[in-house]
Structure 1
């Protein structure tokens, strides 16, 4: 039987970030279990991408992996343009709206998920304190008085002082430990794809609010390519998926008012349902949930992965910080209930705040009466011309809000 300090189930971006953050700040040993191994980048960009904000970029920089990520296929954006299809309201965000010593060189980065995961995975493999378990999925989990036991179908079982579920929205760990979940169907499906834009993306993230939901154009590493996230009703998503490429091009070009020129589909059209999820508890006994296993939000602001990366940095700080401070006598105490509950309160409050903000924005742009559209348009125009409010919103988008873990500062 192999023994570790921390067992992380889920080797996606969040789980790998946690493993690297723990190792950077301590000598704790980490086991990482995930049967989905690396896949090579293809010539065509992956249709699933992430908007990485300044706080997340700082985490990757501190973990000495940002150079590996940014050196591959990544695209900074310096502007954001948001408008209301049903009215005249619009918002423009630029680097000029950011002030202070922490002003970054860009508003954010659009990077394929595979690029980020591959760089993190390779970095983790070079750390002798991180052991990978990729041959078999964990078959069962048992929580004892001092350890968590994980068994495989035929491999040798492993034990750890703490188990972390970083295994996504449909978390197997969450189900095994019977951790209750609050959820609500957004009644939206997200269409994701790579498209080409006649006029190029202009280093800008574009978003139009349509009567059925938001459509975002996220700039990719080639000037004519964008990744789209089109959130719409299930019925509309099914209709759009049934169109041929020429028909789809006409619809999406019309939806953008021609601001990017003619838009055409360059990949398959992926589709997945959107649901808000929030675990009622992020901690139970010696088990912790982070990332999508703990919370999922609407993608309209592109903050889901950033929220998860902050979870990882915060949990690593909670575990390793106490060891460094001498408040714990040994690594045996990393499952200390008081410390873990403090982490849970910290991160759950941040997740709940983000969920509420996304719900407010979604409701604001649902189909309404003409007078509501008028008020919404006036409000957007006023905000666009009110510098203090814009600066506050941009700092939030950059991730500079709330209680930040040290790795993100």
Structure 2
């Protein structure tokens, strides 16, 4: 039997962030369970990327991992260009127009998921209070009044199998294990689902005109297409400033048609869809597609189990805020669990406070709900509309583009600068 204070299921970006945040603020003993161990970084560029905003960058900085991330492959961007394919509307955002304090040079950063996870994992391995379990998968979790009991799968019929991993006892279990969360299913935690009727196509492309340190997004009749600027590796130096990650959200039928095209025909479709603003595009990676579903847990907390990140909520990727929401969940939960530790004895015999966890659930569910509603409103606004509505939409976008107060508010939202952030999401000198 192994005893820990917190068992985190899922050592992705969100789970690792939680582990580091807890250890920075306490001496809690952490178990991290994930069947997929981190691998060493190589020159291959991951198709899976995240748009990291200033709040998330502050979290990484305060946890001491930003420098490692920054010295790998990180692409900053200072501009966003958004336009309506079916109309004349456009929006242009620039970091220099931000009125935030302290001032920001960038609107955000596009970073490969594996780069972020590698930096977090390396930092966690240096902490003796964080223990990794990557050999076996969990079989079950059950809870009592003051503890949670977790067991691992072991194949008794396999004589070559390693020695069974002893069960874990913890005061709290955190499900950070993604959209198809095993923890959520084990605990029968109710979810609200809505099919967005979109599939996302992701890939890496070469743009001869260069990305210009700009995040590009065009709203097509079938859905949004984003070109996110990417950093090239040393082996692809000739492509410096020319690589983008695409996120093409479209109807299932259109996604099926597009992925069936050969590479050159698919690239031609991207060039036409983007009005040639980035040149004659070339596909330089495989294409991956997956269905988009809105998920929201009815409650992020049940007994001694908490859900964070995609295990608690998933949203449409059109604003690139999914990972940022999850990182804020991790920072908020760490703050909630450690805020009153001084009130308990040094052994942390009981640090799980039901009222505090319920407050955490309300806090994070409220923001996730607001983001889900905003994504739904944007998606609906750019759905196919009669010509008069498209004209009005374009006029509204152009008015907004020239109305500084409204633009400044949208820039602040893109930066992740808002009220009621966890302390880790602020720059240290502004705490």
Question: TM-score, normalised on structure 2?
Answer: 0.93
TM-superposed deviation, 1:402: 3.3
SS at 2:350 equivalent: helix
Give me the whole-angstrom Cα distance separating, in 2, the residues matched to 1:330 and 1:4: 11
Corresponding position of 1:320: 338
Q: How does 1:60-71 map to 2 (within 5 A)?
A: 60-71=60-71
Q: Which moved more, 1:33-42 or 1:290-299?
A: 33-42
Is the 2:100–2:412 Cα contact (8 Å) retained in structure 1?
no
SS at 2:199 equivalent: strand
Corresponding position of 1:48: 48
Q: How does 1:370-389 map to 2 (within 5 A)?
A: 370-389=387-406
TM-superposed deviation, 1:105: 1.6
Give me the whole-angstrom Cα distance separating, in 2, the residues matched to 1:228 and 1:188: 15
Corresponding position of 1:297: 315
TM-superposed deviation, 1:86: 0.2
Q: Which moved more, 1:168-177 or 1:327-336?
A: 327-336
Corresponding position of 2:34: 34
Which residue of 228, 231, 254 corresponds with 2:249?
231
Q: Which moved more, 1:32-41 or 1:252-261?
A: 32-41
TM-superposed deviation, 1:329: 8.2
Please, which runs of 5 or more residues in structure 1 have no aligned partner? none
SS at 1:292 equivalent: helix
TM-superposed deviation, 1:38: 1.1
Corresponding position of 1:352: 369
Corresponding position of 1:96: 96
- Cα separation, partners in 2 of 1:234 and 1:328, compared to 1, 3 Å: farther
Give me the whole-angstrom Cα distance separating, in 2, the residues matched to 1:327 and 1:102: 36
Give me the whole-angstrom Cα distance separating, in 2, the residues matched to 1:141 and 1:213: 40
SS at 1:7 equivalent: strand
Give me the whole-angstrom Cα distance separating, in 2, the residues matched to 1:102 and 1:373: 38
- Cα separation, partners in 2 of 1:288 and 1:212, compared to 1, 3 Å: same
Is the 2:216–2:228 Cα contact (8 Å) retained in structure 1?
yes
Corresponding position of 2:221: 211
Corresponding position of 2:237: none
TM-superposed deviation, 1:293: 0.2
Give me the whole-angstrom Cα distance separating, in 2, the residues matched to 1:60 and 1:27: 20
- 2:345 paired with 1:335: no
Is the 1:322–1:328 Cα contact (8 Å) retained in structure 2?
no
Is the 1:79–1:94 Cα contact (8 Å) retained in structure 2?
yes
| Partner deviation per Cα, 1:207-256 (whole Å, 9 max, x = no partner) | 00000000000000131100000000000000000111111111110000
| Partner deviation per Cα, 1:62-116 (whole Å, 9 max, x = no partner) | 0000000111000000000000000000000001220243221200000000000
Is the 2:141–2:148 Cα contact (8 Å) retained in structure 1?
yes
Q: How does 1:7-156 map to 2 (within 5 A)?
A: 7-153=7-153, 154-156=164-166
Please, which runs of 5 or more residues in structure 2 have no aligned partner? 154-163, 232-239, 427-431
TM-superposed deviation, 1:327: 7.0
- Cα separation, partners in 2 of 1:360 and 1:330, compared to 1, 3 Å: farther
SS at 1:335 equivalent: coil
> C-alpha root-mean-square deviation of aligned residues, in Å?
1.1
